[in-house]
Structure 1
Amino acid sequence: MPADTEAPQPTANPDPTVQTDRAAVNFTPSADAASFQFYPDNPESPLARYRFAAKGPSQYFDPCQESANMSMKCLERNNYERDLCREYFDAYRECKKQWLSARRKDNSQWT
């Protein structure tokens, strides 16, 4: 690689509401157990709504992509032992449940 050519930098997270630093995620924002969040994504953010509405009809959009990435990294670290990554899979499922629930509750904001 020539000296004047730099390696491509990873793209910054397009959604500023997604916290990618694990230490900075507030999993318990209040004492109410219903407010606990076990994943870094915010599937109800305005950016997620915009990106869902702007995608093409045959395109796939995953507002829980950060959770999916964490699951895959866990599998790679643990030689694809699914039992060791169960928490990551559960976090992804919870994120998807929140997203689908929000879409069902008010579908007009997602179209």
Structure 2
Amino acid sequence: MVEELKTNPAENADPQLQVDKTKVDYAPKNTDSGSYKFYPDNPESSFNKYRFAAKDASQFYDPCQESSKMSMKCLELNNYDRSMCQEYFDAYRECKKQWLQARRRNRSQWE
């Protein structure tokens, strides 16, 4: 059961999301410093657009769910010391900011 949870992402996580740390290139060589992403989520993916459009008006959908989980796990591992997890909070904030900017730029894709 525990092994199954490690290999399968959450049910509403983007299937293209790479959760295996051994397959992630943390320092790509052919990119400029402005294109680095400090969070695993892709809030502008077509999967997230579809899930957001398909949800009911009263439902909550978080396209940055993996970043959120990482923040909570950090808190649990560090006895809820927020100062130890500031980088995770910043990554989640950046992910949400990217998502909100994408929604503002092109509202028709998100409805």
Residues 94-109 of structure 1: matches in 2 within 5 Å?
94-109=94-109
TM norm structure 2: 0.84
Is the 8 Å Cα contact of residues 27 and 37 (structure 1) preserved in structure 2? no
Residue 18 (structure 1) aligns with? 17
TM norm structure 1: 0.84
Aligned-pair Cα RMSD in Å? 1.9
4+ runs deviating over 2 angstroms: 7-14, 21-31
Per mean C-alpha deviation after superposition, the further-off stretch among 34-43 and 16-25 is 16-25
Deviation, structure 1 residue 34: 2.0
Is the 8 Å Cα contact of residues 74 and 85 (structure 1) preserved in structure 2? yes
Question: Aligned AA for 2:110?
Answer: W
Q: More helix by proportion, 1 or 2?
A: 2
Deviation, structure 1 residue 15: 1.8
How far, CA to CA, are the matches of 2:104 and 2:21 in structure 1? Answer: 29
Residue 60 (structure 1) aligns with? 60
Deviation, structure 1 residue 31: 2.9
Deviation, structure 1 residue 28: 4.6
Paired residues in the alignment total: 105
Residue 31 (structure 2) aligns with? 31
Identity among equivalent pairs (%): 60
Residues 77-88 of structure 1: matches in 2 within 5 Å?
77-88=77-88
- Long gaps (5+) in structure 2: none
CA distances 1:57-82 after superposition (whole Å, capped 9, x unpaired)? 00000000000000000000000000
How far, CA to CA, are the matches of 1:91 and 1:32 in structure 2? Answer: 19
Rg comparison, structure with higher value:
1
CA distances 1:20-72 after superposition (whole Å, capped 9, x unpaired)? 12343334544322211000001011110000000000000000000000000
